[in-house]
């Protein structure tokens, strides 16, 4: 087998040698998963840093605009933009997904190395492809469950915060 660099992922993938039927279905699925998680992690990282940078720029622009004599309307709009950017980060979970997808990518990459070296659980396996398919599925399932738990935890914190605000008398909120 020869290697080539994937167009979407910055990593090497196994390419079939001439006359070879190509990688087994579980290995092909692993390669598809690796490409997905690498691309997704990169996109989530970009989204996270873009939002954070815009928050910093617009947030720093509020006092600067006030010093320069900006109208209250402009200051209000700048403040609202910062709130919207923070809300987008909370809504789309760019940071959490970036970390989760990069971690899953690295775990899958390690699994590929073990499979190709016939090491770890593959050393004693009777059917390497079945073992690979099962382990890739376990890794993906664990990533999904972890993300769902992260979202539920964040939603519970948000819900508790809004319930506390509703319990305060009107004059305390002002």
Query: What pLDDT does 171 receive?
Result: 61
Contact partners, residue 8, CB within 8 Å, separation at least 6: 35, 38, 39
pTM above 0.85, yes or no: no
Please check the confidence at residue 131 and state whether its pLDDT lies above 80: yes
Is residue 81 a contact partner of residue 55, using CB atoms and an 8 Å limit? no
* CA distances, 32 to each of 35, 49, 91, 98 (Å): 5, 26, 27, 18
Residue 51: band (very low, low, confident or very high) from pLDDT cuts 50, 70, 90: very high
């Amino acid at each position: 087998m020869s290697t080539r660099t994937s167009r979407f992922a910055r990593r090497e993938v196994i390419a079939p040698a001439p006359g070879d039927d190509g990688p087994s279905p579980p290995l092909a699925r692993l390669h598809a998963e690796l490409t997905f998680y690498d691309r997704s992690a990169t996109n989530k990282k970009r989204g996270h840093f873009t939002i954070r940078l815009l928050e910093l720029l617009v947030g720093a622009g509020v006092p600067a605009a006030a010093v320069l004599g900006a109208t209250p309307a402009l200051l209000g709009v700048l403040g609202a933009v910062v709130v919207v950017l923070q809300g987008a980060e909370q809504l789309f979970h760019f940071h959490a997904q970036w970390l989760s997808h990069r971690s899953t990518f690295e775990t899958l990459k390690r699994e590929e190395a073990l499979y190709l070296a016939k090491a770890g659980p593959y050393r004693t396996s009777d059917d390497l492809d079945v073992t690979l398919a099962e382990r890739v599925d376990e890794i993906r399932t664990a990533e999904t469950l972890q993300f769902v738990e992260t979202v539920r935890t964040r939603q519970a914190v948000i819900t508790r915060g809004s319930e506390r605000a509703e319990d305060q008398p009107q004059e305390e909120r002002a």
